């Protein structure tokens, strides 16, 4: 086997950065990975995804959910974005795995009103639950990214690559 096969990571270029940022911008939802505080197992659930009032990667979650309890115990998380279409090999569809720190918006945070307006503009159906007392916003701060642009097209990304 050649060295190229053993290390499938390519040097990050502008095309990879643009693909990663496009996957984030186009994501209405994501697979969220957290660590289950009771068992230590990873736990993957689906969450809504959107932007905060000044961009970034945000979600709106219920405090009653298992993932929000897990994030209170350990804010280290992962997000997978980039959904395959109904046809073709789903493993050839580009996707981005992010390692992120979850930063919940505290009650009374002055950004709440702008975040609410931005979220409802992008997720109109959220009006059914956005004002329930257990729902709150979380901002995800990227730590690193792994972009898979299809077979043999893998890249590592820094927070700067994703800004």
For position 64 contacting a second copy by CB under 8 A, the verdict is: yes
Determine, following the binding rule CB under 8 A, whether residue 159 of this chain makes contact with a second copy. no
User: Does residue 107 touch a second copy according to CB under 8 A?
Assistant: no
Q: Which of 139, 130, 145 is nearest to 49 (CA)?
A: 139
SS3 call for 134: coil
Choose which of 24, 48, 138, 162 interacts with a second copy (CB under 8 A): 48
Q: Would you say 54 or 86 has its CB closer to a second copy?
A: 86
Q: State yes or no: residue 97 binds a second copy (CB under 8 A).
A: yes
- H-only helix segments in the chain: 3-6, 14-25, 66-73, 112-122
Q: Should residue 40 be labelled a site residue for a second copy when binding is judged by CB under 8 A?
A: yes
Compute and round to an integer the Cα radius of gyration of the chain: 17
User: Residue 103, interface with a second copy (CB under 8 A)?
Assistant: no
Minimum distance of a second copy from residue 84's CB (angstroms): 7
List the end-to-end C-alpha distance of the chain, in Å, as a whole number. 36
Cβ distance to a second copy smaller for residue 54 or 74: 74
Half-sphere CA count of 161, side-chain side, radius 13 A = 21
DSSP 147: E
Q: How far apart are CA 6 and CA 36, in angstroms?
A: 33
**Does 12 interact with a second copy (rule: CB under 8 A)?**
no
Could you give the 3-state DSSP secondary structure of residue 58? strand
> Is residue 95 part of the contact set for a second copy (CB under 8 A)?
yes
Which residues bind to a second copy, rule: CB under 8 A? Answer: 1, 5-6, 8, 28-29, 31-36, 39-48, 64, 66, 76-80, 82-84, 89-91, 93, 95, 97, 99, 123, 125, 128-129, 133, 143, 146, 148, 151
């Amino acid at each position: 086997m050649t060295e190229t096969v053993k290390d499938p990571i390519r040097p990050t270029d502008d095309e990879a950065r643009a693909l990663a940022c496009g996957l984030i911008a186009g994501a209405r939802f994501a697979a969220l990975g957290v660590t289950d505080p009771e068992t230590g197992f990873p736990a993957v659930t689906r969450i809504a995804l959107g932007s905060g009032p000044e961009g970034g990667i945000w979600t709106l979650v219920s405090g009653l959910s298992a993932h929000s309890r897990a994030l209170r115990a350990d804010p280290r998380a992962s997000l997978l974005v980039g959904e395959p279409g109904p046809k073709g090999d789903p493993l050839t569809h580009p996707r981005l795995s992010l390692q992120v720190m979850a930063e919940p918006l505290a009650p009374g945070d002055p950004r709440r009103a702008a975040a609410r307006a931005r979220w409802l503009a992008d997720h109109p159906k959220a009006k059914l639950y956005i004002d329930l007392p257990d729902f709150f916003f979380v901002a995800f701060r990227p730590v690193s990214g792994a972009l898979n642009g299809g077979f043999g097209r893998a890249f590592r990304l820094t927070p700067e690559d994703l800004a």
